[in-house]
Every structure is written in C-alpha cells, then in structure tokens.
A = this chain, B = another copy of it.
Amino acid sequence: MIIESSKIGDLPQIITVSRKTGVFSEEEVDTVDELFRGYLKSPVESGYNFLTAREGDKVVGYACWGPTALSKGAVDLYWICTASEAQGKGVANGLFEAVKEAARQAGRWIIVIWTSSRDEYQPARSFYLRMGCTQAAQLPDFYDRGDDLCVFYLKL
C-alpha cells in the first residue's frame, strides 16, 4: 500500500469508497465530490487536501484534511475512509499517520476532529481514541436532537 496526494483520476473510486461505507448520506457524498474538486483546483485556496491509499490501481481509502480557519496551529481532519473490502489491513492507521505528517509539514501542531455521537460513528470514535486522540467535548443535540457533536484532538 502506498499513501500519496490524491490524483485527479481517484475521484470516481473515492466516491464509490464513500458510498459503500453506508455511513455517508447522499448529501455527504456530494460534499466529498465538491471538496475534491476544490482540492484539485487549489489545495491552498480551497483549504482542502486529499490523501489516497492505493494498492496497485485500486483506491483502498482516503483522507481529507485542511488547515483550520483562524488558527495558526490546527488542522481539521474531515474524513478518513477505508474501502469496505480493505478493512482490518491498517489502511486507516496509515492514512492517520500520513495526515499527522502532512500537518507537521504544514507547520501545524494539533489535529482536530468533529464527529457525531450516532451509533454508526462508534467505529470512527473508537479509532480516534486508539490513535491517541483526546475527546475534548461532547455538545448535546448539536447536529440534531439526540445527535451530539464529539470533538477529538491530538497534539503532535
């Protein structure tokens, strides 16, 4: 597996990978598409960066991150997403390490993750804790009634 900056041709597979997780709503899939196009135009202007994990021609996962507005030190980690058929092979771990390295190279020192308290995000929340993140906050009913905001962070 190699992890590198995403290429223009990765988009269809990135969309497929997102869809097949079963966690993304169609609206969220559209958002991935939109952010990827912003990244292709200009990572700096759009504020979005994509990393692809690839095995041969196959996209087995991706990460999307970007510097946090108004912050000198933070990056937002928007998504880490592994292809359903590639689960359990350390793809997400590899992507998380790559985001840490990219954040460091961007001169930043804290990774911030906003995620949901919903059941389908339990694997994501467990993953961030395994990666050494701290849960900084849980804001009740933030996304919707019964759907809290969970904020995690990792100091580099």
Contacts and interface: CB of A to CB of B under 8 A. Distances in A.
Contact of A137 (B68, B109, B136): B136
B109 A73 contact: no
B141 A138 contact: no
A139 interface: yes
Interface in A122-156: 136-145, 149, 151, 153, 155
A139 B136 contact: yes
Contact of A139 (B110, B138, B142, B143): B110
A134 to B, nearest CB: 9
Interface of A is mostly: strand
Contact of A136 (B70, B138, B143): B138
A72 interface: yes
A105 interface: no
Nearest to A136: B137
A112 interface: yes
A147 B155 CA distance: 14
> Closest 7 A-B residue pairs measured CB to CB?
A137-B137, A136-B137, A72-B144, A74-B142, A71-B143, A73-B141, A136-B139
